[in-house]
Amino acid sequence: MSRYTAPPLPEIDVEEFRKVVTTRRSVRRFTDEPIPDDIVHDCLDMALLAPNSSNLQPWDFYRVVSPDKKKALGPACLNQNAAKTAAELIVVCGRTRTWKQHSAEMLDYWPEETVPRIVEKYYTVGTRVHYGTLPLDPFGRLKKLIRDVTGIRSPAPRWPNSSTDMQLWACKTAALAAENLMLAFRAHGYDTCPMEGYDDARVRKIVPLPRDAFIVMIVAAGRRADDGLYHRQFRFERERFIHEV
């Protein structure tokens, strides 16, 4: 088996990256300037490059293009200005049931000439053991118990065990993609507001979703209005959150 040799890394200016990160703000009002289509798609493509669990890509992005749907999402997003004024609204979803199909497809999509045996085994057996859950809670507890017993002798993954765990599993990944998406818009000179302030049932009526899809956040995007920021950015002291152990 030949080893993959990655192409040389390009030079990266950390100060340019810092500019993107430090100027990203949750913007609550946008101008009525549209975002060019190719930029929106470029940002969505960058979202898809986010790290994700086992590369199983348990996410979906619904870009709302219908003017009627966009209008209806204003009230469904609790009349937030960010939603009402956004040029773009993207519903970022997690998926709890696509992993099995994606796992099987992984072998067809594998980018090298041969699929290493260990990879094949992981995507045919490993993922089923690791992510397979049964709908009833007691089975989740049973799976956890088996894992805890197995884990006494040697390190073993203790999680995920239940459908709730799988939501959390998909949510982590989809949230990372949402951050990529927001930073990509910023890098293009546009701004965003992640929103969890919405009426889930109403949003699902406007944007019909598969049964296993759940909304992680709705990302509003557009050109920052002069009065788009309500205050300066601030955080608590870093010592409260950064721990060296």
Q: Which of 80, 85, 98, 133 binds ligand FMN (CB under 6 A)?
A: 80
- Which amino acid belongs to residue 241? F
Spacing of C-alpha 227 from chain mean position: 28
Collapsed DSSP state (helix, strand, coil) of residue 105: helix
Residue holding tokens 């960058």? 46
**Of the two residues 80 and 167, which places its CB atom closer to ligand FMN in the complex?**
80
Q: Confirm or reject binding of residue 197 to ligand FMN (CB under 6 A).
A: yes
What is the DSSP secondary structure assignment for residue 224, as one 8-state letter?
B
| Under rule CB under 6 A, residue 173 binds ligand FMN | no
Q: Which residue is nearest to ligand FMN (CB)?
A: 197
Distances in whole angstroms, Cα of residue 124 to Cα of each of 95, 99, 103, 177 = 19, 11, 7, 26
Residue 233 engages ligand FMN in binding (rule: CB under 6 A)? yes
Please give the helix or strand (H or E) that residue 222 lies within, else none: strand 213-222
The yes or no reply on residue 195 touching ligand FMN (CB under 6 A) is: yes
Residue 192 near ligand FMN by CB under 6 A: no
Query: In the structure encoding, which two tokens stand for residue 22, read together?
Result: 């430090």
Structure letter (DSSP) for residue 29: -
Which x/- pattern, by CB under 6 A, does the window 17-56 give for ligand FMN?
--------xx-x----------------------------
The least distance separating ligand FMN from the CB of residue 214, rounded to whole angstroms, comes to 13
Q: Using CB under 6 A as the criterion, which residues of the chain lie in contact with ligand FMN when the complex forms? A: 25-26, 28, 80, 82, 193-197, 217, 233
